[in-house]
Amino acid sequence: MPLVGPKEMFANAYQGQYAIGAFNVNNMEIIQGIMQAASEEKSPVILQVSAGARKYAGQRYIMKLVEAALADDPSVPVCVHLDHGPSFEMCRDCIDGGFTSVMIDGSHLPYEENVAITRKVVEYAHPKNVWVEAELGKLAGVEEHVSSAEHVYTDPDQAVDFVKRTECDSLAIAIGTSHGAYKFKGDAKLDFARLETISSKLPNYPLVLHGASSVPQEFVELCNKYGGQVGGAKGVPEDMLRKAARMGVCKINVDTDIRLALTASIRQFMTEHPEQFDPRSYLSPAREAVKKMVQRKIRDVMGSSGKA
């Protein structure tokens, strides 16, 4: 199966009250782990490429790895998505490079500027049948080049105006999630009343949650046990994310959890096998750790098992 856009994925997810997992990729092992999980769970999947991943691995390398993954199991619907595109130019280059979905992130801009740049990307992408995600509101926290010290919740009426004027295909909203591994100091809380209002004002419209890693404590503990210093890391409880998926959220982003699973596995292996220096020896179990973590997300958070 060739790469697909998320239109049909999201339509099915909205009606079925589940979400599609959007997993960030940076190298071969991460792509393999995600795709093996999606294949075994028979789930559609979105492979997300950030600006940092493009710089690290190279867009052409990533797309060739995806091409190889598609050949391994053609039955899995796969979308390749630009995560937090910082400019029209990067969105354009990804569209021209074969991405089937892009996100233009103008959330840090004044409202009218966000509208203008989103509209510009939409006008370039839609004639090429490429999906456009935008963001309204600000998520606190830090992830790659995306950072904010403040959290600005999405205004429901403004969301309606934004979608109408830009014609973006999906919208990332701010209801309490945040980027990075340190999401909450106290009890986790998401503004489900706000989500319900936005969803009611934009019926049948796919919403997106960024900053939605759960930061599983077993990975934090494993990482710290073998020399890491990931103290106080805390994510979004998985039951809250599953609830959001029943309320119009069709795409849930996961990045931090992948990094934790990969790094914890490598730290453990290198400590227990100090004589090893073959990268394959520690990257193989790391790939398996990514696969198992993604399978858990697909089953327990997204609810997308068997939806391919």
Whether the CB-CB separation of 252 and 190 falls below 8 Å is answered with: no
165: helix, coil or strand? helix
Reported for 116-121, long-range contacts at CB under 8 A and 24+ positions apart, including other chains, are 117/88, 118/162, 118/166, 118/168, 119/165, 119/166, 119/167, 120/88, 121/85, 121/88, 121/91, 121/92
Q: Are strands 170-173 and 131-136 parallel, antiparallel or unpaired?
A: parallel
- Percent helix, percent strand, percent coil in the chain, to nearest 5: 50, 15, 35
From the candidates 83, 169, 255, 257, give the one annotated as an active-site residue.
83
For the question of residue 83 being annotated catalytic, the response is: yes
Paired tokens of 194: 């706000």
Q: How far is CA 107 from CA 9, 13, 18, 118, 141, in A?
A: 25, 25, 26, 10, 14
Residues 94 and 80: their CA atoms lie apart, in Å, by 10
Return all residues near 28 (Cβ < 8 A) that are at least 6 apart. Answer: 65
Q: How far is CA 250 from CA 36, 206, 231, in A?
A: 22, 5, 31
Residue that the structure tokens 């992130």 belong to: 105
The DSSP-derived string for 102-128 is: EEE--TTS-HHHHHHHHHHHHHHHGGG
Whether the CB-CB separation of 26 and 283 falls below 8 Å is answered with: no
Catalytic machinery residues: 83
